[in-house]
Structure 1
Amino acid sequence: MGYVIYIAATMLVVPLFSVLGEFFYRSPQARFFDLTWKWFIFWAIGIRLISAGVNQIANPAFTASILQLNDSAYLVIRELGFANLLMGGLAALSLFFPTLRPAATLGGLYLGMAGLLHVIRGIEHVNLKEGTALISDLWGFLIVVAYFLDSFFFRHKT
Structure 2
Amino acid sequence: MHLLHTVWNRLHTIQALEFTATSHSRTRGWTGHGRGSVAVTQNHDTDLICTEMGTWTTDTNVQLAFRNVYRWTIDKKAQLLHLEHLRFGPEQPVYLCALSSQSTTHLCSVQPHLCGPDQYMVSISIESGWLAMHWDIQGPHKNEQLSYWYD
Q: What is the TM-score of this pair, normalised by structure 1?
A: 0.28
Q: What is the TM-score of this pair, normalised by structure 2?
A: 0.29
Greater radius of gyration (CA): 1
Give the strand-richer structure, 1 or 2.
2
